[in-house]
């Protein structure tokens, strides 16, 4: 028991980081399952993180309330974004949503604080970021949230909506031919992904104590995409697996600190070459062989 307590004391931050990263990977997985290369998860995460932090710092709201409002805001923003980009596909959708993410980052970078009713109200803190955020997103809260998201996605996977999502991903024209509203499916998928990313962003803010606009830039979005590619683009299990593996990897290869980006690139290239469906596809292949 003492060894376990010591292990947690040494690695508690990494453990929390893995949980938050898994939630963010699941948020992108939802969009990818609908065939949408929408790369705005970092922006949704940032919006929710700032909303949650501002409510905690200025209004002293409890964690649950700040998370609920942050998720609502990120969901609405995602749904609104889905409308102008609804006709875009592939790389064009990716570029448009990356552009949206940069707009959010620049806005956060230029908003500091305002004077309201004779007192200073913190917004984003500008380039210096926000500090003093209540550190009340405990490991239990983070993993309970991850379990809730996983359970919700499992339940959704058993509905007709999941079948519609799969059909839209495979063949839009066939989906329209059987009466599926492709636009609605894409909007709902992006909104659901925005809600999950918002949850991850709020937890990130309350687990980190300090956030800056650079935490939610293109580099973060690139990380989230790599987690999903390594784990499996259309597999929620793969998204969690990829996020877990690539969160632990930097700690495991500290001796390669000067070559960390190269090692990540090598791993990504190896997965693409030898397991194009991601690490989760290896699991599925093994299951098929066992059954046969």
pLDDT at 262 over 90: no
pLDDT at 290 over 50: no
pLDDT at 122 over 80: no
pLDDT at 269 over 90: no
Q: Go through 157-169 and write b for each residue having 16 or more CB atoms within 10 A of its CB, e for each that does not.
A: eeeebeebbbbbb
**Model confidence at 231, in pLDDT bands (50, 70, 90)?**
confident
Integer Cα distance of 12 and 192 in angstroms: 29
pLDDT of residue 51: 95
For the stretch 157-204, pLDDT in tens is 889 998 998 898 888 888 888 888 888 999 999 999 999 999 999 999
For the stretch 71-91, pLDDT in tens is 999 999 999 999 888 888 888
**Model confidence at 1, in pLDDT bands (50, 70, 90)?**
low
Count Cβ atoms within 10 A of the Cβ of residue 255 and give its class: 0-12 exposed, 13-18 middle, 19 or more buried: exposed
pLDDT at 288 over 50: no
Integer Cα distance of 278 and 271 in angstroms: 6
Q: Kindly list the distances between the CA atom of residue 166 and the CA atoms of 39, 161, 185, 224, 241, in Å, as whole numbers in the listed order.
A: 19, 9, 10, 21, 21
Q: Where are the domains of the chain?
A: 11-215
pLDDT of residue 150: 93
> At how many degrees (to 10) do helices 236-252 and 218-231 cross?
110
Please compute the mean of the pLDDT values over residues 100-116 and round it to a whole number: 84
pLDDT at 21 over 60: yes
pLDDT of residue 34: 86
pLDDT of residue 118: 67
Integer Cα distance of 268 and 278 in angstroms: 9
pLDDT of residue 155: 92
Least reliable range by pLDDT among 59-68, 78-87, 147-156, 278-287: 278-287
Least reliable range by pLDDT among 109-123, 150-164, 202-216, 223-237: 109-123
Sign, CA dihedral 194-195-200-204, equals: positive
pTM for this entry = 0.90
């Amino acid at each position: 028991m003492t060894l376990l307590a010591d292990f947690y004391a040494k690695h508690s931050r990494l453990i929390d980081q893995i949980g938050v990263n898994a939630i963010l990977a699941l948020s992108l997985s939802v969009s990818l399952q609908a065939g949408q290369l929408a790369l705005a998860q970092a922006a949704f995460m940032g919006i929710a993180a700032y909303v949650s932090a501002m409510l905690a710092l200025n209004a002293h709201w409890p964690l649950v309330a700040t998370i609920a409002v942050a998720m609502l805001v990120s969901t609405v923003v995602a749904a609104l974004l889905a409308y102008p980009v609804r006709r875009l596909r592939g790389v064009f959708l990716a570029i448009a949503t990356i552009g949206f993410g940069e707009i959010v980052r620049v806005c956060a970078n230029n908003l500091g604080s305002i004077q309201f009713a004779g007192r200073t109200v913190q917004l984003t803190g500008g380039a210096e970021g926000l500090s003093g955020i209540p550190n009340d997103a405990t490991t239990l809260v983070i993993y309970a949230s991850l379990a809730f998201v996983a359970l919700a996605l499992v339940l959704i996977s058993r509905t007709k909506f999941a079948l519609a999502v799969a059909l839209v991903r495979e063949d839009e024209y066939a989906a329209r031919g059987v009466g599926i509203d492709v636009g609605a499916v894409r909007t709902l998928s992006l909104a659901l992904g925005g809600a999950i990313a918002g949850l991850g962003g709020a937890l990130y803010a309350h687990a980190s104590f300090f956030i800056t606009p650079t935490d939610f830039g293109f580099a973060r979005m690139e990380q989230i995409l790599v987690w999903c590619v390594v784990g499996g683009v259309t597999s929620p299990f793969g998204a969690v697996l990829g996020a877990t593996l690539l969160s632990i990897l930097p700690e495991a290869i500290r001796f390669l600190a000067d070559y960390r980006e190269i090692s990540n690139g090598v791993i990504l290239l190896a997965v693409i070459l030898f397991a194009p469906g991601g690490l989760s596809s290896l699991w599925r292949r093994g299951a098929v062989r066992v059954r046969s």
